[in-house]
Amino acid sequence: MDLNAAYAECARITRRQARNFYFAFLSLPRRQRLAVYALYAFCRELDDVADTVANDAPSDVRHSLTENRGATAVLSDGIASPTGSLKEKRGEAALLSGMSGSIDSRRAGIAALRRRLAGAAAGDPEKDRDLALADVIARYGVDPDDLTQILDGVEMDLDLAWVETDVQLEAYAYRVASAVGLATLPILTDGVPSTDAMREKAVSLGLGMQFVNVLRDVDEDLGRGRIYLPRETFAHYGVDEASFRGRAMTPELSALLRAHAERSRALLDDGLELVPLVPRAGRPCLWLLAEIYGRILERIEASDLDVFAGRVSLPTREKLSLLAMALVRRFGT
The whole-number average pLDDT for the span 45-74 is: 52
Give this prediction's pTM: 0.86
CB 137 within 8 A of CB 144: yes
CB within 8 Å of 325: residues ≥ 6 apart: none
Best CA proximity match to 173, nearest among 122, 228, 136, 218 = 228
Tens digits of per-residue pLDDT, 293-308?
A: 999 999 999 999 999 9
- C-alpha 230/C-alpha 211 separation (Å) is 12
User: Reduced to 3 states, what is the DSSP secondary structure of residue 300?
Assistant: helix
Q: Which residues pair with 227 in a beta bridge?
A: 162
CB 142 within 8 A of CB 39: yes
The whole-number average pLDDT for the span 75-93 is: 43
pLDDT at 132 over 60: yes
pLDDT the model gives residue 18? 81
Structural domain boundaries in the chain: 3-331
DSSP string for residues in 275-296: GGGS-GGGHHHHHHHHHHHHHH
- C-alpha 295/C-alpha 304 separation (Å) is 15
Q: What is the mean pLDDT of the chain?
A: 87
CB 227 within 8 A of CB 161: yes
Please report which confidence band the pLDDT of residue 52 belongs to, taking 50, 70 and 90 as the band edges: low
- C-alpha 50/C-alpha 34 separation (Å) is 24
What CATH number was assigned to the domain covering residues 3-331?
A: 1.10.600.10
Tens digits of per-residue pLDDT, 160-188?
A: 999 999 999 999 999 999 999 999 999 99
The whole-number average pLDDT for the span 246-255 is: 98
pLDDT at 70 over 80: no
Please report which confidence band the pLDDT of residue 17 belongs to, taking 50, 70 and 90 as the band edges: confident
209: number of Cβ within 10 Å: 30
Which phi and psi angles does 56 have, rounded to 5°?
70, 20
- C-alpha 134/C-alpha 182 separation (Å) is 17
- C-alpha 303/C-alpha 103 separation (Å) is 36
113: number of Cβ within 10 Å: 24
Which phi and psi angles does 165 have, rounded to 5°?
-130, 165
Which phi and psi angles does 162 have, rounded to 5°?
-145, 120
CB 169 within 8 A of CB 157: no
